[in-house]
Amino acid sequence: MSGIEESVLEITGATAIQKIESVQTLWSGYGTIKRYFLEDGCQPSIIVKQIDWGNENSHPRGWNTKLSHQRKVRSYEVEKHWYGHHAKRTNNLCKIPKIFEAVEWESGALLIMEDLDAVGYNIRLKPETITVADAKNCLTWLANFHGLFMSSSPEGLWPIGTYWHLDTRPDEWNNMRHSELKKIAGEIDSKLNNAKFQTIVHGDAKLANFCFTPDGNVAAVDFQYVGKGCGMKDVVYFIGSCFDDHQCEQLESVLLDHYFNQLQKATHKTVDFQQVIVEWQSLYAYAWADFYRFLDGWSPGHWKMHNYSIKLTEQVIEEITNERTN
């Protein structure tokens, strides 16, 4: 019996492991996620995320540099810290898997956590199957998460959340083709980072990281890039992971109105919500332009670099250009 299996039995009180099922490998080969089916345990199954940063790994798009490796190692350290110190603040309005153990393990870390499938969150959606109602449910999760952590310290997390943060992506910035956007990337970054209202952002809030129950409840996973930031970063990244340019254009008001309505409920009496909505609405296009900047260097021609994101990016370029000349 392996050390991991012994740990699983000890923390769950199970008498035996019936079988082990591979769920997926981690990005760039940095470990595995497996489901352990238990006999007489506290749950019928649990999830084990085994992180190993001791191996030489390869990036699907060729970004296997020393800096890239260091960023990934840091991301898993952040995730371990998140589950060990911050996750307990969440609730059923922003459901995440319960953590049993989050520890250092050999050349990486080990996260032993609740299996969301076993507690009803067994549905995964894709862009071609998501409905507007589903998207609203995810935005409700984000609003409750952002409201809960509004003005919170990112102690032990990323000082600036999201995996595409400019300071952590100098190679991609150097590779940019959009010269105008490249010149003002720092100003866009500064606008977002210096917003008066900051929260803790998920940092990788794509559709694939949300799990659904049959009646529409939502939970989120994968907290490698959680940290301080403007909530619009999560919102635009989520919307962009679900819809094409025409849908983004058509649904913009519907989705933003829903998010801000839910955020108002979540931040009731904790902040001046009218100030939050004015500031964050003004940063919506900046958050789109910020992610477009990353894609331009990381994967030129990516499908998310569509007409809607181009329009908002050009709007931001014009605004910053006007500010410089006034």
Domain extent at residue 293: 132-325
Question: Would you tell me how many other CB atoms lie within 10 Å of the CB of residue 235?
Answer: 27
Query: Is residue 159 located within the same domain as residue 81?
Result: no
Question: Would you tell me how many other CB atoms lie within 10 Å of the CB of residue 141?
Answer: 24
Query: Is residue 67 located within the same domain as residue 138?
Result: no
pLDDT beyond 60 at 83: yes
Residue 124 lies in a domain: no
Query: Is residue 102 located within the same domain as residue 158?
Result: no
Residue 69 lies in a domain: yes
pLDDT reported for residue 63? 52
CB contact set of 170 (below 8 Å; sequence gap of 6+): 67
Q: How far is residue 211's CA from residue 223's CA, in Å, rounded to a whole number?
A: 14
Please give the distance of CA 146 from its chain centroid, rounded to a whole number.
12
What does each C-alpha distance from 134 to 96, 99, 126, 208, 237 come to in angstroms?
A: 17, 26, 11, 13, 16
Which 8-state DSSP code applies to residue 89? G
Residue 139 lies in a domain: yes
CB contact set of 108 (below 8 Å; sequence gap of 6+): 30, 31, 50, 51, 52, 53, 54, 76
* pTM of the model as a whole: 0.94
Query: Is residue 197 located within the same domain as residue 84?
Result: no
Percent of the chain with pLDDT over 70: 96
With CA atoms as reference, report the closest residue to 158 among 81, 227, 232, 236: 227
Where residue 4 falls among pLDDT bands split at 50, 70, 90? confident
Where residue 326 falls among pLDDT bands split at 50, 70, 90? confident
pLDDT reported for residue 54? 67
pLDDT reported for residue 1? 59
Q: Taking all residues of the chain, what is their mean pLDDT, rounded to a whole number?
A: 93
Query: Is residue 178 located within the same domain as residue 243?
Result: yes
pLDDT reported for residue 68? 85
With CA atoms as reference, report the closest residue to 259 among 94, 95, 146, 125: 146
